[in-house]
Amino acid sequence: MPIDAPAEVIANHALSTDYNVLALAAPAIAAAAAPGQFVMVKAAFGHDPLLRRPFSVFEVLRDDRGTPTGISLLNKRIGVSTDLLYAARPGQRVACLGPLGRSFTVVDPPTEGWMVAGGVGLAPFVALAEALGTRGVASTLFYGARRAEELFYLDVFRRLGVELVLTTEDGSLGERGRVVAPLERRLAARAADRPVMIYACGPEGMLAATATTAARFGRPCQVSVERIMACGLGGCYSCVVPMRHGHGGFHHVRSCIAGPVLPGDQILWE
């Protein structure tokens, strides 16, 4: 069962003028969260904003003994709620419901884990990289953003032993262009008998390109879809995703309960 609790802001670390990492005291949610799951957060307790907003669990925070104490969220300012979370002060409380949804399936060696992140789609991958590392899985992060200043937490991934493949749209760090290009080259060069699981999170176009590319090379791909989520609990149908169903048919699933992690080759991409 998800936990619904007011969570105190422990820290708020601005990464740029648009992005911040908000640390919340939420030990029960932290203890239960699996990589790829999300929480519904409401930045204020009044009527504005009215609705909660979904956030992937970015980090599980632990004390010196390794006991989960809270979670952090990677926030990007795009509206009223995210502006409030960007400006949140330590000591303030936010409404936090979770963990929700289906997590990534964490593979075991010799399968490698290749994570593909675009922009704020980095959010589920610190937790996933930790889980892969715990199992001894070799992992790579293909991470793209508009410019170098928007590639965050690189040292954290390096410390976790993750190989980094970086791209920026302006060429200011890593390869210039889209993140799927180096992924495609790696897949083309990889021997068929060396298994790999691809995990993706980011803009819809990037997810579609990643899933399509993975399928072309016969590799499994789990994508974390971003949808408007009004309830996060399956009650409002604001979050539906069209999926293949039967012979040539399709049906809609609610990404808040069937996902947010879904098999990329089953989604009907627009």
Q: Least distance to ligand FES from the beta carbon of 240, Å?
A: 8
What the block records as the tokens of 31 is 């203890």
Helices (H), 147-226: 154-159, 180-189, 204-216
Closer residue to ligand FES in complex, CB, 141/207? 207
How many Å apart are CA 143 and CA 118, to the nearest integer? 6
How many Å apart are CA 140 and CA 162, to the nearest integer? 5
Q: Least distance to ligand FES from the beta carbon of 255, Å?
A: 6
Q: Least distance to ligand FES from the beta carbon of 228, Å?
A: 8
Q: Does 253 participate in binding ligand FES (rule CB under 6 A)?
A: no
69 burial via Cβ count (<10 Å: 0-12, 13-18, 19+): middle
Q: Does 136 participate in binding ligand FES (rule CB under 6 A)?
A: no
Strands (E), 43-157: 53-56, 59-62, 68-76, 93-100, 112-118, 139-145
Give the residue among 142, 135, 130, 140 at the shortest CA–CA distance from 109. Answer: 135
Which residues make Cβ contacts (< 8 Å) with residue 65, sequence separation at least 6?
none
Site for ligand FES in 208-237 (CB under 6 A): 229-232, 234-237
Site for ligand FES in 19-48 (CB under 6 A): none
Q: Does 241 participate in binding ligand FES (rule CB under 6 A)?
A: no
Size of residue set near ligand FES by CB under 6 A: 12
Q: Least distance to ligand FES from the beta carbon of 39, Å?
A: 13
Q: At what angle do helices 180-189 and 204-216 cross, to 10 degrees?
A: 10
Closer residue to ligand FES in complex, CB, 57/107? 57
Q: Does 105 participate in binding ligand FES (rule CB under 6 A)?
A: no
Q: Least distance to ligand FES from the beta carbon of 256, Å?
A: 3
Q: Does 239 participate in binding ligand FES (rule CB under 6 A)?
A: yes
Contacts to ligand FES by CB under 6 A: 229-232, 234-239, 254, 256
